Structure 1
Amino acid sequence: MTEDAFTQELNAVLNTDPPAAQVVDRVATQTVDDVAVVTLAKPEAFNALSLASWRRLRTVFTELAQRDDLRAVVLRGAGTKAFAAGADIKEFPGTRMTAAAATDYNESIARALRAVAELPVPVIAAVQGLAVGGGCELITACDVRIASTDARFGIPIGKLGVTLGYTETVSVARLIGPAELKYLLFSGDLIGAGDAHRIGLVQRLTEPGDLIDAVTTLAGRIRAQSALTLKAAKLVTGMVGRPLTDADADTLARFTVEAYEGPDLKEGVAAFTERRTPVFGRKGEN
């Protein structure tokens, strides 16, 4: 697919809600060439996340991880009012009102967040409107967060009396730090996009009408680069802040061999020398 065709098709997908036939447990997956678009699809309830939705997200991202041709994923909410406004509280009496049920519920969230974070390719969160509670936690499992200036963020769980799980806590705190997370939890405040950008929760801000173009541009730039380089970059940056294990060292050594003895480096150097745009093979061909 040409760059222009990709841009037009991805823009078309992001500018419309997914067809009902593609929605399973309020989550839809669409594909534009080698980029997947995952949509939280409950706009009438601000894309609130049910237990089934969390489980579906884990399944979707586990399946996406098996695709050798995949280059990036865009995660978004249907409509313009919310990425996701937290949990579907109406289902709590049947899913989260005992310690045993809450443990199962929290583990479903943790598994979904790990599946998103561990996907080998970049995951872009496109945030417009509310990203609250589980929605705020979910965007922190993504690699990059691009938000419109009308977005609002927070984790006001003190108003419900639930606790924040360990996986969610680590996911948010690694971006904004424990002190900022404590402020969000203690105050119950929803902060604006500017404050979210200031504390590192969001990497880029756009006007609401420019959000889709910004996301499409980043996805296109990802597609134009070496898949091996970006996969290695995601893994090595994920190692920051923890001791390097023997498995980490083995992984880094493997990537070094694949990069410096593979075709992408040769193509990159040749393209630079010849003053042209590099044309890299797909992920499965590296």
Structure 2
Amino acid sequence: MITDPGADELSDVLRNDPPEALVVDRVARQTVNDVAVVTLAKPEAYNALSLASWRRLLTVFTELARCADLRAVVLRGAGPKAFAAGADIKEFPRERMTAAAATNYNDAIARALRAVAELPVPVIAAVHGLAVGGGCELITACDVRIASTAARFGIPIGKLGVTLGYTETVSVARLIGPAELKHLLFSGELITAGEAHRIGLVQRLAEPDALVDAVTGLVDQIREQSALTVKAAKVVTGMVGRPLTDADADTLARLTVEAYEGSDLEEGVSAFSERRTPVFGQKKGE
């Protein structure tokens, strides 16, 4: 296993709320070596997501997409009670009470979700407490969800009288299927972490005091893999369930060239033969 000199630092970041100086529109971004931590930072309101927060998430993930050495992102909520407990309803009279305003609001959500989903590196949602409404939708844009056994999930928008946007619908349904999504929407129920795991909304569960260790453990495992392989895995699995386009075919061809004519394959095979840990990312001849 790679010994990461910043492993303890990453754990410390995940165990504490971000400094107020880093919070912009209730979202904070911190970097530990080649890992970014993005925190929803409104703990006094269960990290409710405002329109400004969704727009800030778009900005943060657009910026992260340009970070060449980034290996992973952890998305989490501040405070002990929630990942995010849905929309900031207090701003509805100003931002979401007409069809035109709602269209603008839903567009901001859709853009943020796409930015999270399209980031070239893995995005891990670390979920404790409530992941409700927009919070539940946001975790489905991530690649992997690791949740505390005390977490709760749901999209009880029927109690508000709003509709679920198309992008959010697709994001949730691709994980749990249309029927399970309909049950969540029709019932308005909040489900347990165990039930979320059963239906595929969550990939791994951890006891509350072990959640950070579970998340940092996955980050360590990601960093042991070839970055090229991990990025290709995200791209190719993202194509599942839809017809391939000409652009997809070009992307697959490019990924094949990068893998089979790059240095990581040579290093991986050599390391296997020599029974040692591979050191990926070197240029040929180094």
- TM bracket, shorter-chain basis: over 0.9
For 2:201, what is the secondary structure of its paired residue? Answer: coil
Per-residue Cα deviation, 1:56-96 (whole angstroms, up to 9, x for no partner):
00000000000100000000000121000000000101000
Q: Which residue of 1 aligns with 2:14?
A: 14
TM-score norm. by structure 1 comes to 0.97
**C-alpha displacement at 1:267, in angstroms?**
0.6
Please give the alpha-carbon distance, in whole angstroms, between the structure 1 residues aligned to 2:104 and 2:44.
Answer: 26
For 2:163, what is the secondary structure of its paired residue? Answer: coil
TM-score norm. by structure 2 comes to 0.97
* Mapped contact 1:69–1:282 kept (Cα < 8 A): no
Q: Which residue of 1 aligns with 2:108?
A: 108
For 1:5, what is the secondary structure of its paired residue? Answer: coil
Please give the alpha-carbon distance, in whole angstroms, between the structure 1 residues aligned to 2:282 and 2:157.
Answer: 43
* Mapped contact 1:268–1:278 kept (Cα < 8 A): yes
* Mapped contact 1:86–1:131 kept (Cα < 8 A): yes
* Mapped contact 1:149–1:205 kept (Cα < 8 A): yes
Q: Which residue of 2 aligns with 1:180?
A: 180
Q: Which residue of 2 aligns with 1:26?
A: 26
**Aligned residue identity for 1:13:** V
**C-alpha displacement at 1:5, in angstroms?**
2.1
Please give the alpha-carbon distance, in whole angstroms, between the structure 2 residues aligned to 1:235 and 1:210.
Answer: 30
Q: Which residue of 2 aligns with 1:264?
A: 264
Per-residue Cα deviation, 1:246-271 (whole angstroms, up to 9, x for no partner):
10010000000000000000110111
- Residues 85-100 of structure 1 mapped to structure 2, 5 A cutoff: 85-100=85-100
For 1:3, what is the secondary structure of its paired residue? Answer: coil
* Mapped contact 2:156–2:189 kept (Cα < 8 A): yes
* Mapped contact 2:264–2:282 kept (Cα < 8 A): no
For 2:6, what is the secondary structure of its paired residue? Answer: helix
Please give the alpha-carbon distance, in whole angstroms, between the structure 1 residues aligned to 2:47 and 2:195.
Answer: 23
Please give the alpha-carbon distance, in whole angstroms, between the structure 2 residues aligned to 1:23 and 1:273.
Answer: 48
Please give the alpha-carbon distance, in whole angstroms, between the structure 2 residues aligned to 1:148 and 1:218.
Answer: 15
For 1:202, what is the secondary structure of its paired residue? Answer: coil
Per-residue Cα deviation, 1:146-175 (whole angstroms, up to 9, x for no partner):
000000000000000000000000000000
**Aligned residue identity for 1:231:** K
Equivalent residue pairs, number: 282
Matched, 1:137 2:137: yes
Q: CA RMSD in A?
A: 1.0
Matched, 1:49 2:58: no
* Mapped contact 2:116–2:123 kept (Cα < 8 A): yes
- Residues 1-286 of structure 1 mapped to structure 2, 5 A cutoff: 3-281=3-281
**Aligned residue identity for 2:169:** T
**Aligned residue identity for 1:237:** T
Indicate how the Cα distance of structure 1 residues 14 and 129 shifts in structure 2: closer, same or farther if over 3 A, else same. Answer: same
**C-alpha displacement at 1:10, in angstroms?**
0.5
**Aligned residue identity for 1:81:** K
Structure 2: tracts of 5 or more residues without a match: none
For 1:124, what is the secondary structure of its paired residue? Answer: strand
* Mapped contact 2:263–2:282 kept (Cα < 8 A): no
Per-residue Cα deviation, 1:193-229 (whole angstroms, up to 9, x for no partner):
0000000000000000000000000001111111100
Shifted more, 197-206 versus 2-11: the winner is 2-11
Please give the alpha-carbon distance, in whole angstroms, between the structure 2 residues aligned to 1:52 and 1:3.
Answer: 38
Following TM superposition, the consecutive aligned residue runs of length 4 or more in structure 1 with deviations greater than 3 angstroms are: none
